[in-house]
Amino acid sequence: MIGTPGVYILIVYLAGSQTIKVGKKRVIPFEPGYYFYVGSALGGLENRIKRHLAREKKHHWHIDYLLDTGKIIGVLAIPTTHKIECQVANSLSEGLESIVGFGSSDCNCRSHLFYYPKSD
């Protein structure tokens, strides 16, 4: 899989409510539950996923801030050379709550992060 391009979905669990500063200005309240982040790795899935799994890293993408407190509990990797990241995100938006503007600053999507509440 080294160097294999594709799209991925990170499944992130957040145990409790958090207010997280994302970037330099934006502050977002996050509720406990499951978050699904859609990203692309056209330069290689393995390296991108390894970077997300690393605890120590420079904050480059919106997801880096959520991963400071959230835990990745699953990864779905979709090997492809096609730019389908937005199609995948739009499909998830049909059934899950969108965190508006998260991870989608370089496209016209409403979001690339989606939420499913924690069940008690």
> How many CB atoms sit inside 10 A of residue 110's CB?
15
Q: How many CA atoms lie within 13 A of 7 on its CB side?
A: 14
Task: Quote the longest CA-to-CA distance of the chain.
Answer: 40
Cα within 13 Å of Cα(111), Cβ side: 17
Q: Is the pTM of this model over 0.95?
A: no
Tens of each residue's pLDDT in the chain, 120 residues:
568 999 999 999 999 999 999 888 889 999 999 999 999 998 899 999 999 999 888 898 899 999 999 999 999 999 999 999 999 999 999 999 999 988 888 888 999 999 999 876
